[in-house]
Amino acid sequence: MTAAELTLRAEMKTALALIERDLTVLFKSFVPFILRTAMQPALFAFVFAYVFPRIGQGIGGHGTAAFVAVLLPGLMANTLMFQGVTAVTLPLVAELAISKEIEDRVMAPVPVAVVGLTKVISASIQAFVAGWLVVPAIWIATGGHAPMSWEHPVRLLTIMPLCALVGSALGLLLGTVISPRRISYLFALLLLPLTLLGCVYYPWVALHAIPWLQVLTLLNPVVYMSEGLRAAMSPGIPHMPLWAVYGLLVVALGVMLWIGLTKFKARVLT
């Protein structure tokens, strides 16, 4: 085995140890993780798909089952994005500006960029788990009316990790550019618009009645997450072409990861 191979092997072992450390911390507080992850989508599903039909309120012209088929993938996409962002951004902002814990991490015998990449991978694993937790939460909240198709397992098992990585890459980017004093703006000015304009509660094709908004939402990665998950879980509902979903998510992942890692190295080294 050459020296380069030995170095690569040592770096991979160190990176896996950093990821294992993050996941160990997560599973030590797994119950709070479940509660904060599942509570919001469960409440949305309970109100829109259980309470509204029983009190005579409309739900966008859909029947209950059809609306849940739209809502379930959308809430999963929102959870994948939200969990990916918060699992990286909030700890990273604190580590860079307050606790300085990041200094201990970058002393590991791996390039600085690898340290940032391990944060993205750890957060994407958390987001992936959180995304699956939405399914039983909505099933319970709607009284067992959570239609989910298993006809396209390859779509589901490829789109979910990709969505989790995109959310985590965005979290890395935000964590390196946001100061602790402005962290409150993250939810009001970014995450809330990403959710409400991310086709979480309606399919993208339904926006044809508002052409300018339909075009504007194409800048929102949550749109592609929602549409991709609908293609996997509710294929009977009109959705974006899969080439657009996968293509745009891969491009978004590459761009945000490159910018995020570049800024991460700059912040750490200065």
Tokens matching residue 203: 């399919």
Distance (Å, rounded) from C-alpha 159 to C-alpha 221?
13
Q: Which residues contact residue 178 at a Cβ distance below 8 angstroms, ignoring those fewer than 6 apart? A: 89, 93, 185, 186
Tokens matching residue 76: 């999963």
- When pLDDT is averaged across residues 112-133 and rounded to a whole number, the result is 88
- The alpha carbon of 91 is separated from its chain's Cα centroid by a whole number of angstroms, namely 16
Distance (Å, rounded) from C-alpha 131 to C-alpha 80?
5
pTM greater than 0.85: yes
Tokens matching residue 141: 């909240």
Q: What does the pLDDT look like over 1-58, one tens digit per residue?
A: 576 565 666 667 777 777 877 778 777 777 777 777 777 777 777 777 677 767 755 5
Distance (Å, rounded) from C-alpha 136 to C-alpha 83?
17
- When pLDDT is averaged across residues 237-249 and rounded to a whole number, the result is 92
Output 5 or 161, whichever has higher pLDDT: 161
pLDDT at 135: 83
How many CB atoms sit inside 10 A of residue 136's CB? 13
- When pLDDT is averaged across residues 191-197 and rounded to a whole number, the result is 85
- Tell me the one-letter amino acid at 89: T
Phi and psi dihedrals of 137, rounded to 5?
A: -65, -45
Instruction: Kindly give the interhelix angle for 112-141 and 64-97, rounded to the nearest 10 degrees.
Output: 150
- Tell me the one-letter amino acid at 101: E
3-state helix, strand, coil in the chain (%, to 5): 80, 0, 20
pLDDT at 124: 93
Tokens matching residue 67: 């609306």
